[in-house]
Amino acid sequence: MKDSTFQPIHEIGYSELKKKLDTYKGMSESDMINDTGDDAVIFSSGAEDIYSISSVIFLEGVHFDLTYHPLNHLGYKIVTAVVSDIYAMNTKPFQLLVNIAVPNMHSVEMVEKFYEGVDAACKDYQVQITGGDTTASHQLLAISATATGKGKKDKVIYRHGCKIGDLICVTGDYGAAIAGLRILMREKSEWKERGDYQFNPDFESYEYVIKRQLYPAARMDVIDMFEEKRIYPDSMTGVTQGLVNAIKNIANASSLGAELFLPAIPISLETRRVADEMKEDVDKYAFYGGEDYELLFTFPENKIGELEDFFDDFAVIGKMTRQKDLLKINTGGDETIHIEL
């Protein structure tokens, strides 16, 4: 008998674990256009139409803390998280399944409050809740959501497709969600130390970053803009785990590298102020923080002016290079940082 082995997950990390799990594909299905290498799975429904499917899991204590995460905001956030993957393929979500495992110590009203948030998000994103499963949990609240989207086969945008010299563009700004989390965690720690159940922290000056953490929005407007103006990027991915991970996804998908210009990365003043308070590197917030739910896409340089004519909520932060597996970060000074992708 072959000796069994035990390799702790922390030795390889969850990205490498996912690569291993992605090799288990079951039976091949001819209608599947892509597999597990994009933000959502794409399958054909005929000559022109395609469907996209994606799912997310939120686990109490890992993805959210009920000490400071209102249940209605949590419901809104999980919908944002899953439809963001559908938008990242340039498809539009239309239906949602929600599965929830609830401890008995929670009340009916608490569960309804969660679903109020789900319902509000689905109305904003024009999605129908079509069902799901509800079961008991011994201790922790666990939630999963699966969204289905629809689009045209020739308009789907994958992670692969970018070319050498393509400009790297991002919507919105970065690091705000992790900045909001850092403030919430700090205030929770102070509350526990004081043991004061009437503790009422003043979050007014942190409203933007806390909203980005607790009540984020997916970029439906960008997908609508692409459709209206009939201009489409060469590649696209969602930014859910920080900029470095998003760039890695599109670079590896096309066997290319990337170069970033650090001063061009959009970071809000409030995010910078939080990083200063915490004595932390704000660039790391943007690179690795996650949960910004923005979009990263690549455009040929000769088309970027056309995009600028009618859309201004994006920034050019770099370009794709032929140096496979390498991310070069130009700091704007004498230092150049190299990250292996």
Whole-angstrom distance, CA of residue 275 vs CA of residue 270: 9
Could you report the per-residue pLDDT of 197-229, keeping only the tens digit for each? 666 777 889 999 999 999 999 999 999 999 999
Position 30 pLDDT exceeds 80: no
What per-residue confidence (pLDDT) applies to 33? 60
Rounded mean pLDDT, 169-185: 97
Rounded mean pLDDT, 116-127: 98
What per-residue confidence (pLDDT) applies to 333? 85
What per-residue confidence (pLDDT) applies to 35? 55
Would you tell me which CATH number, out of the four given (3.40.50.261, 3.30.559.10, 3.30.1330.10, 3.40.50.2300), belongs to the domain 9-155? 3.30.1330.10
Rounded mean pLDDT, 312-341: 94
Position 3 pLDDT exceeds 70: no
Could you report the per-residue pLDDT of 62-100, keeping only the tens digit for each? 999 999 999 999 999 999 999 999 999 999 999 999 999
Position 18 pLDDT exceeds 80: no
Domain with CATH 3.90.650.10 in the chain: 167-340
CATH H-level superfamily of 167-340:
PurM-like C-terminal domain (3.90.650.10)
- Provide the pLDDT confidence category of residue 1 given band limits of 50, 70 and 90: very low
What per-residue confidence (pLDDT) applies to 227? 96
Q: Give the number of residues written for the chain.
A: 341
pTM: 0.90
- Provide the pLDDT confidence category of residue 4 given band limits of 50, 70 and 90: low
Q: Residue 114: name the closest of 81, 68, 78 by CA.
A: 78
Q: Residue 298: name the closest of 250, 266, 260 by CA.
A: 250
Contacts 24+ apart (CB under 8 A), 3-8: none
Domain with CATH 3.30.1330.10 in the chain: 9-155
Rounded mean pLDDT, 123-151: 95
- Provide the pLDDT confidence category of residue 137 given band limits of 50, 70 and 90: very high
Q: Is there a contact between 284 and 220 (Cβ–Cβ < 8 Å)?
A: no
Which tokens hold the place of 161?
């497709």
The angle, 0 to 180 degrees and rounded to 10, between the axes of the packed helices 71-87 and 220-229 is 30
What per-residue confidence (pLDDT) applies to 29? 57
CA 340 to chain centre: 21
CB-CB neighbours of 262 under 10 Å? 18
What per-residue confidence (pLDDT) applies to 296? 98
Burial 9-28 (b: 16+ CB within 10 A, else e): eeeeeeeeeeeeeeeeeeee
Average pLDDT of every residue of the chain:
91
